[in-house]
Amino acid sequence: MTGIRMGIFSGGFFTTEAVWTALLVGGFAALVAAVAGVFTVMRGQSFAGHALADLGAVGGSGAFLLGVSQLWGFVGAGVLAAIVLEVIGLHRVRERDIATGIVFGFGLGLTALFLYLGTTLGHSSNQAVAVLFGSLFSIDPGVVGPVIGLGVLSLALVMLVSRWLSLEALDADIARARGVPVRLAGVLFMVALALAVELTALSIGAVLATALLIGPAACALQVTSRIPRAMWVAVVVGVGCTVLGIFISYESYAWSPGHRAWPASFCIVAIVFVCYLSTRVWNTVSAAMTRRRGVRRVGQVSERIREGN
C-alpha cells in the first residue's frame, strides 16, 4: 500500500504495479459483467446475480481458511451455486423473497463465520473488507492471468448462447418451437453469469458486485434498442466507471481530509449510479421529444386518410 501512496507524490498513476493490477482485474471484470449483465437484465435475472454474489462470498471467505486464493474460492462457490440454482430452479420460484431471506442470508451467515474464524486464526480483518467490499489495490498480480482466462470463458459462453437467450427472452415457447434447447441455454448462461459475478466480486466485493453487473446494462438498455449495441454501451459504461473510479480513489488520497483514500469500490459504484440517473433523465427527455414527433406523424397520416389514400 505504501508503494501506491508514494506513487501519488511521484505523480505515477500508470507506473505503479498495484494500479495496473487494479485496472486490469477491475476493468476486465467490468467488461465481462457488462456483457453478461445485458442478458441478465433482459431475462429478469438480477435476482440470480445477487444470489451468486452472496453464495460466492462463502467461497471467497472460506478460501482464507483453506489457504487457497480468494479468486478460486469465489469462482468455485459461484459456479457450484449457479449449477445448483439452475437445476433446482430456485431462481424461478415464486417465493423469491423467502428464498432470498433464508438461502442467501444463510450464505452470508457462513461468510460471517468463515471471516470470524479467519480473524481468530490470526488473519487480518482486512480480509473481511476485501471479501465484502473489495480491495482492488491489494489484489495479487498473480491472479491477472486466471481472471482473464475465466472472463474470456464467460464471454464465450454468453456469445455462444446469445441468440437462444434473445429468443427465449421474447417467449420461451416460441424458442422451444424453434428448437432452442432452453434448459441447456439456462445452465450455460448461469455458469457464465457466475463467472462474471465472481470476477466482479473479487474486484469490488461481493456486496457491490451486482452494481457493476446490472448498472451498466441498465444504462445501455435505456439508450438503445439493439442487443449488440447495448453490449457495447454497457462495456463502455462499465469499464469507464471502473477506470475512472480507480483513478479517483487513487487521487483521493492526495486531497481527502486526513489522507484517507476513498475505497475504489465506492468510487466505481457511485459513478455507475450517476450514469444510470443520467440515462434515465436522457431517456425521459428523448421520449418526450419522440412523442411530439409522433403526434406530428399521426397528423400527417390522418390527412392522408382524408385525402382518400
Partner 1 sequence: MTAVHGEREPIVRISDAAVVLGGRTVWSQVGFDVQPGEFLGLIGTNGTGKTTLLRAILGTVPLAEGSIQVLGHARGRGHDLGYVPQKVVVDPDLPLRARDVVALGLDGAKVGLPLRTRSTWERVERALGAVDAQDLSERRIGRLSGGQQQRVLLAQSLVSDPKLVLLDEPLANLDPASVQEIVALLGRISRERNMAVILTAHDMNPLLPVLDRIVYLAKGHAAVGTTQEVARTDVLTRLYGSPIEVVTVHGRVVILPASGAPDTEAVHHSEPVQREPLP
Interface contacts to partner 1, rule CB under 8 A:
38, 42, 44, 159-164, 166-167, 169-171, 173-181, 221-222, 224-228, 230
Q: How far is the CB of 216 from partner 1 (least distance, A)?
A: 14
Q: How far is the CB of 52 from partner 1 (least distance, A)?
A: 22
Residue placing its CB nearer to partner 1 in the complex, 11 or 179 = 179
CB 246 within 8 A of CB 267: yes
Q: How far is the CB of 220 from partner 1 (least distance, A)?
A: 8
Rg (CA), the chain: 22
Q: Which residues contact 258 (CB under 8 A, 6 or more apart)?
A: none
Please give the C-alpha separations between residue 78 and each of 19, 34, 101, 220, 265, in angstroms, as whole numbers. 26, 18, 18, 26, 20
Residue placing its CB nearer to partner 1 in the complex, 132 or 227 = 227
Nearest Cα residue to 72 out of 156, 185, 149, 159: 149
Q: How far is the CB of 170 from partner 1 (least distance, A)?
A: 6
Helix axes 70-88, 46-66, angle to 10 degrees: 140
Residue placing its CB nearer to partner 1 in the complex, 260 or 297 = 297
Residue placing its CB nearer to partner 1 in the complex, 88 or 177 = 177
Nearest Cα residue to 62 out of 22, 103, 104, 107: 107
Q: How far is the CB of 163 from partner 1 (least distance, A)?
A: 5
CB 197 within 8 A of CB 49: yes
Q: How far is the CB of 225 from partner 1 (least distance, A)?
A: 5
Pairwise CA distance, residues 40 & 50, whole Å: 11
Residue placing its CB nearer to partner 1 in the complex, 204 or 220 = 220
CB 136 within 8 A of CB 26: yes
Residue placing its CB nearer to partner 1 in the complex, 260 or 296 = 296
* Cell numbers standing for residue 67: 489457504
